[in-house]
Amino acid sequence: MTSLSDAIASTRMRLAAHGQEHVLRFIGELDGTRARALLAQCDALPLDLLAREMTAILGTAQSGMAEPSHTRIEAVDVIPAHPEGWVEYATAGEALLRAGKVACFTVAGGQGTRLGWDAPKGTFPASPITQRSLFQIFAEGIRGLRERFGAPLDWIVMTSPQNDVPTREFFQSHGSWGLAPGTVRFIVQGTMPALDRRGKILLSDRSELATNPDGHGGSIRALAESGELARLRGRGVEHLSYFQVDNPLVHPAEPLFLGLHATHPSSGGQMSSRSVSRRSAAEKVGVFCQRAGRVGIIEYSDMPPELAAAVLDDGRLLHGAGNIAVHALSLAFIEQLTQDGLALPFHVAHKKVPCLDSGGVLQAPSEPNGIKLETFIFDALPLADRPIVVDSRRDEWYAPIKNADGGDSPATSKAAQVARAARWLEACGVRAPRNGDGDVDAVIEVDPAVALSENDLRTALATGQARAPKQVNPGDRFVVA
Ligand code: UTP
């Protein structure tokens, strides 16, 4: 083994060539093991890439333009969702599920800083009565789908190095909510070093660089590098149903969407997305659009204001399709991306990064002090052959838990879950009390294993698999199970 002093000298030289040698400023105080651990972290740094990204970031800051002005942005075609008329696609999706050609994929490696929950976000109690965690909601939904379609429906959960252990422990302590061992598998995403505003790498400890998970776009590489992609292939899986950990309304593997993705004539069958109508030009969701003829998503913050607000003759937003991070991806597409040496673009977030100051004291900043570099899964869309975007009812699909309070919070998400449960029950002939504003005057929860849609509920009630009263009274609280 190279002597420690030689190893330090060679790493220092490499770092110095990129102006990053300051990360070794405390190495003389470390014992051999910690010093070597720090050197290993430094030797794995993508220093050229960081330098390129910083040049781009500083250039953008100077010009004030995140989206190059010459990029032509056009509206995207959105396929309206008409489930009644599209039985053939739902049937095609069901056939994929039955044949074991679909696996669910949840990205759960985020830091969840806005929510401020001191554990992986998937462990957050999200349902209105039983306080089912987000993970439990998805697990039970998947269990119900497996039973309904006799489908293997593996579930892959992406974690980060920061939350992998507590996530696995949570699943273990709940027996994965009845999902058989080996049918839920975890993969760990990569990280990126956190930088200060000048692009200098930050330290979280004298022997450790400050890092953050590399974004949900890191899921593509994590699938390949973990060996999970090959394993799924070996199990006959052809498509992944991708969703985020923060949205309890999401359908983990909807037959109609999967069928449209795999068999609709407009679809290349590589990557498809569900969208919702944006509430307003100011709503903070990514926007589907076409750039240079390729479908993609622009972050709301990068959307030129006049385009964000542009309306059609009937008053609807021209760029009205908002991203809810629900995608279907073919394994063949992911394989192609990884074989081609995938390089999704980095996005910059200014965040509060706890880090050592020059004297080696850990500081918890009250204002954003650092830069986080992340890649996003939706940047794979322009690389896909004819991606389709399928419109969705927001109140059926999307009520994320992002913030501790205000919009997209546990309170708004629970209200949306109750509203959807009441709507499904009403559609099945059960009367639900509503106040003058039309809000449901009761708390209702549907066991996700029993129903993921109004139709499921109708069948479950008709076959006696679930029970509900004929009428819900004001103030009632009950779970349809
Ligand atoms: P968000 O963009 O909401 O980020 O993630 P976040 O890190 O969870 O939360 P904040 O911004 O710190 O409050 C959207 C989805 O992508 C996943 C998250 O777990 C969530 O399901 N994600 C995000 C990852 O899996 N890895 C990442 O590196 C980032």
Distance 219 CA to ligand 1 centre (A): 12
Residues with CB under 6 A from ligand 1: 107-114, 121, 158, 160, 189, 213-216, 218, 244-246, 374, 402
Of 156, 187, 219, 244, which is best to mutate to test ligand 1, by the most ligand atoms within 8 angstroms of its C-beta? 244
Give the residue ranges of the chain where pLDDT is below 70: 61-71, 83
Q: Residue 63 has what pLDDT?
A: 57
295-337 pLDDT, tens digit each:
999 998 888 888 889 999 999 999 999 999 999 999 999 999 9
404-426 pLDDT, tens digit each:
999 999 999 999 999 999 999 99
Distance CA 161, CA 30 (A): 23
Q: Residue 67 has what pLDDT?
A: 55
Distance 347 CA to ligand 1 centre (A): 13
Distance CA 473, CA 471 (A): 6
Distance CA 251, CA 242 (A): 10
Sheet holding 370-374, edge to edge: 195-196, 370-374, 347-351
Q: Residue 1 has what pLDDT?
A: 79
* pTM of the full structure: 0.96
Q: Residue 61 has what pLDDT?
A: 63
Distances in Å between the Cα of 401 and the Cα atoms of 160, 248, 443 are 19, 8, 19
Q: By CB neighbour count within 10 A (0-12 exposed, 13-18 middle, 19+ buried), where does 338 fall?
A: middle
Q: Residue 408 has what pLDDT?
A: 97
Q: Residue 458 has what pLDDT?
A: 98
Architecture per CATH, domain 70-399, reads as: Alpha-Beta Complex (3.90)
Amino acid, res. 461: L
Ranges of each domain in the chain? 1-44, 70-399, 403-481
Answer yes or no: are the C-beta atoms of 430 and 440 closer than 8 Å: no
> Which residue's entry shows tokens 């809810």?
324
Distance CA 363, CA 204 (A): 9
Q: Residue 64 has what pLDDT?
A: 53
Beta bridge partners of 289: 296
Distance 94 CA to ligand 1 centre (A): 30
Pairing mode, strands 355-356 and 362-363: antiparallel
Query: What sign results for the dihedral spanned by CA atoms 47, 52, 55, 60?
Result: negative
Q: Which DSSP string corresponds to 346-414? A: PEEEEE---EE-TTS-EE--SS--EEEEE--GGGGGGGSSS--EEE--HHHH-----SSSSTTSHHHHH
